């Protein structure tokens, strides 16, 4: 039995999130249907992290077990032949066992990185619908950067946690929060040990409040320390959210790709 890992990229606009659902309109459903058509046997997959409706992935990592003998390039090309244009397997690799350890797409990961792409212009762009969030009021990037400093470190992120979150603990380690402006596009990059349900979108909404001048940077620290979801901004739109990278120990030898959510910055 072999354990195969795949790097999967997708545009989540048309899907009801990643995880399988009865209507089968999810990324996992489409991926497993394609795997079955290629392998001619049902293959169950496990992902590194589930994404919500409308959320994209530059590199989702999944694994499955199989006795089939195929080249890694065959897995890539063969499965892609049965996938819609909005999903693609970018790479495949056979992950060998280490003494006392077996690779697991979710549990072997030690960090996740998300990008949020935000279009900041008085007029919406039809070309960015589904691919970037939109705020028509001017945003002060320096104020948002100042506010974001309080997020770095190990904290209880209950104030930014969905009521539907199933995580055992709200305590997560935020490694970095970077905010860059590229003309009319602002890119937020958040890297943490793990994220709570809706955590990134709730943080983005609150940072936008600061960027608009509705609150001072110190307000975000107060919200974080207060641990009350009602004190933070509403959950922001999913359109500009991209799962960018999953970090693993180099010993697993996964062929990560460097990718940007939009090609022109």
Helix (H, G, I), strand (E, B) or coil at 244: strand
Tokens of 191: 């890297």
Going from the C-alpha of 99 to that of each of 65, 76, 102, the distances in angstroms are 18, 28, 8
Buried b (16+ CB within 10 A) or exposed e, 228-251: ebeebbebbbbbbbbbbbbbbeee
Does the active-site annotation cover 52? yes
Q: Pick the catalytic residue from 11, 23, 29, 52.
A: 52
Tokens of 242: 């991209």
Q: 10 a known binding residue?
A: no
Q: How far apart are CA 109 and CA 91, in angstroms?
A: 18
Q: Which residue has the tokens 């199989």?
A: 66
Residues annotated within a binding site for substrate: 114
Catalytic residue annotation: 52
């Amino acid at each position: 039995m072999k354990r195969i890992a795949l790097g999967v990229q997708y545009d989540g606009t048309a899907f009801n999130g990643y995880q399988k659902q009865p209507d089968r309109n999810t990324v996992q459903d489409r991926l497993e249907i394609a795997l079955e058509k290629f392998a001619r046997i049902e293959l169950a997959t496990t992902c590194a992290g589930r994404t919500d409706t409308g959320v994209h992935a530059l590199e989702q990592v999944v694994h499955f077990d199989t006795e089939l003998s195929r080249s890694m390039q065959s897995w890539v090309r063969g499965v892609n032949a049965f996938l819609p244009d909005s999903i693609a397997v970018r790479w495949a690799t056979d992950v060998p066992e280490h003494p006392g350890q077996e690779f697991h797409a979710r549990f072997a990961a030690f960090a996740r990185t998300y990008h949020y792409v935000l279009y900041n212009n008085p007029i919406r762009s039809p070309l960015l619908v589904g691919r970037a969030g939109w705020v028509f009021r001017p945003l002060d990037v320096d104020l948002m950067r100042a506010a974001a400093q309080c997020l770095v470190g190990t904290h209880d992120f209950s104030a930014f946690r969905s009521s539907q979150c199933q995580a055992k603990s709200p305590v997560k380690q935020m490694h970095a929060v970077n905010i860059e402006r590229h003309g009319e596009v602002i890119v937020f990059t958040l890297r943490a040990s793990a994220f709570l349900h809706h955590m990134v979108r709730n943080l983005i909404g609150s940072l936008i409040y600061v960027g608009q001048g509705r609150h001072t940077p110190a307000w975000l620290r107060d919200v974080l320390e207060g641990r009350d979801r009602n004190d933070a901004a509403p959950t922001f739109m999913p359109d500009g959210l991209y799962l960018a990278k999953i970090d693993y120990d180099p010993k697993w030898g996964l062929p990560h790709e460097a990718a940007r959510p939009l090609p022109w910055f």
